[in-house]
Amino acid sequence: MPIRTARWDDWTLEDLLVAKGDTTVSLVVPARNEVATVGEVVGRVRERLVDTVRLVDEIVVIDSDSVDGTYAAAASAGAAVHRSAEIRPELGSHPGKGEAMWKSLFVTSGELLVFMDADLLDWDTHFVPGLLGPLLSWPEVQLVKGFYERPGEQGPLDGGRVTELVARPLISLLYPELRDVVQPLAGEWAVRRTHFASLSVPTGYAVEIAALVDTARAAGADAIAQVDLGVRAHSHQSLLDLGAMATQILAAALAPSRLKLEPTRAESAQACADSANLRQFLPGPVAADRVVETTERPPAEGLL
Ligand SMILES: O=c1ccn([C@@H]2O[C@H](COP(=O)(O)OP(=O)(O)O[C@H]3O[C@H](CO)[C@@H](O)[C@H](O)[C@H]3O)[C@@H](O)[C@H]2O)c(=O)[nH]1
Ligand SMILES: O=C(O)[C@H](O)COP(=O)(O)O
């Protein structure tokens, strides 16, 4: 696969601690109304990767306009908690996950940032070392995406409804250099601080697709790696809410600023005038390509 692909257990914790040396690492957890799960996410990482070994230097939860007890639950589990809207208030505040992640740059200090969702149900702390492996081992890598099996879903490597119905088709049509990314929307990913600080960050759910597209554009697809993290389950949004997520992802992927910078995107879309190559994934991960016919007939009026 052109996107460099690893497994979380390609590195031992000891390997990573040696490779880390003095490099600093921040775990960033954006959270909106996650009182039920955020304490467990923070607490488990703190016990195993801060208190027992020092792989992570700080755990920072960005409370994204929660109206439940997310702030208190995260703080009592040992995180440094900041309200997104209160970080650099002179910059204004927007709702959304991307906003919380962008604001995290102002309240964290790690040279490497690891992002994890706060709503994880089936997961383990090996996600964090797994995501750090490529950044600590391969200097050319700027951004590392996680992928995982999703128990009980349609297929083990199905990436979710928005992934399969919006992100993968968009990638096939416009950003084929990313088609080997198994789960482009995964919320578990890691990035070098300097690189994340160089990116334009959509305030909502398009933060992941934008980071992938802009990283490939700025540094080439070689700057992206992905890691098999095993199994992961999360809570699901309603189809109507996913419609809003899909709209944000389409808006970012089709933003004139992104497409304009790359005139070849238009050619790529044009190349799909008759058929598109949709890359999906089977366990392995094994790429399964599907040719999707996209032919259009001309207006019939000239032929009548
Ligand atoms: O305004 C918001 C909305 C969500 N979140 C947090 O972001 C994480 C993921 O949100 P969620 O609503 O569970 O997203 P999913 O429906 O699971 O969406 C998937 O796909 C999105 C689009 O790429 C990614 O941003 C997500 O991380 C990924 O899990 C959770 O910790 C949320 O609490 C915020 O901080 N602010
Ligand atoms: O990643 C996705 O496509 C969305 O988060 C939706 O995931 P779901 O279909 O598992 O809820």
The residue whose CB lies within 8 Å of the most ligand 1 atoms, and thus the one to mutate among 101, 150, 205, 239, is 205
Task: Tell me the one-letter amino acid at 1.
Answer: M
Quickly count: other Cβ atoms within 10 Å of residue 156's Cβ. 16
Which residues sit with their C-beta closer than 6 Å to ligand 2? 159-163, 185, 236-237, 242
Which of 83, 70, 81 has its CA nearest to residue 39?
Answer: 70
Q: Which CATH architecture describes the domain 4-151+182-238? A: Alpha-Beta Complex (3.90)
Residue 149: the pLDDT is: 87
229 phi and psi angles, rounded to 5 deg: -100, 5
Residue 37 Cα to ligand 1 midpoint, Å, equals: 13
**From atom 5 of ligand 2, which residue's Cα is the shortest distance away?**
160
**From atom 10 of ligand 2, which residue's Cα is the shortest distance away?**
160
HSE-up of 253 (CA within 13 Å, CB side)? 26
Task: Name the pairing type of β-strands 80-83 and 275-282.
Answer: unpaired
Residue 21: the pLDDT is: 98
Which of 287, 155, 285, 146 has its CA nearest to residue 229?
Answer: 146
Residue 283: the pLDDT is: 85
Assess whether pLDDT exceeds 70 at residue 265. no
Task: Tell me the one-letter amino acid at 263.
Answer: P
> How far is Cα 25 from Cα 109, in angstroms, rounded to an integer?
8
Residue 155: the pLDDT is: 64
Of residues 260 and 25, more confidently modeled:
25
Q: What is the number of residues in the chain?
A: 304
The pLDDT tens digits for 194-221 are 999 999 999 999 999 999 999 999 999 9
Residue 213: the pLDDT is: 97
Instruction: Report which bound ligand comes closest to the CA of 202.
Output: 1
Residue 207 Cα to ligand 2 midpoint, Å, equals: 15
**Token pair for 291:** 């040719």
Q: Residue 259: which pLDDT band, with cuts at 50, 70 and 90?
A: confident
Atom of ligand 1 minimally distant from the CA of 95: 1
Q: What is the DSSP string of 153-179?
A: SSSTT---HHIIIIIHHHHHHH-GGGT
**Token pair for 226:** 């992905």
Kindly report which listed range (62-66, 110-114, 147-151, 260-264) carries the lowest average pLDDT score.
260-264
Domain ranges of the chain: 4-151+182-238
Assess whether pLDDT exceeds 60 at residue 35. yes
Assess whether pLDDT exceeds 80 at residue 264. no
Task: Tell me the one-letter amino acid at 236.
Answer: H
**In sequence order, what are the residues at sequence separation of 6 or more whose Cβ sits closer than 8 angstroms to the Cβ of residue 15?**
none
Instruction: Please give the mean pLDDT across all residues of the chain.
Output: 92
**Token pair for 100:** 């919380």
**From atom 2 of ligand 2, which residue's Cα is the shortest distance away?**
160
Give 3-state DSSP helix, strand, coil % of the chain, rounded to 5: 40, 20, 35
Instruction: Report which bound ligand comes closest to the CA of 120.
Output: 1
Instruction: Report which bound ligand comes closest to the CA of 155.
Output: 2
- Tokens 């909106």, located at residue: 32
Instruction: Report which bound ligand comes closest to the CA of 117.
Output: 1
**Which SS3 state, helix, strand or coil, does residue 231 take?**
strand
Residue 233: the pLDDT is: 80
Quickly count: other Cβ atoms within 10 Å of residue 126's Cβ. 15
Assess whether pLDDT exceeds 60 at residue 51. yes
> How far is Cα 267 from Cα 108, in angstroms, rounded to an integer?
41
* pTM over cut 0.80: yes
Residue 273: the pLDDT is: 65
Alpha helical stretches, state H, 110-238:
127-137, 161-162, 168-174, 193-197, 207-219
291 phi and psi angles, rounded to 5 deg: -85, 120
**Average confidence (pLDDT) over 5-9:** 97
**From atom 3 of ligand 1, which residue's Cα is the shortest distance away?**
97
The residue whose CB lies within 8 Å of the most ligand 2 atoms, and thus the one to mutate among 157, 188, 242, is 242
Assess whether pLDDT exceeds 60 at residue 72. yes
**Average confidence (pLDDT) over 127-133:** 98
Atom of ligand 1 minimally distant from the CA of 185: 23
Assess whether pLDDT exceeds 90 at residue 275. no
The pLDDT tens digits for 143-200 are 999 999 887 766 666 789 999 999 999 999 999 999 999 999 999 999 999 999 999 9
120 phi and psi angles, rounded to 5 deg: -70, 140
Helices and strands: H and E segment counts in the chain? 12, 12
**Token pair for 90:** 């002179």
Q: Residue 117: which pLDDT band, with cuts at 50, 70 and 90?
A: very high
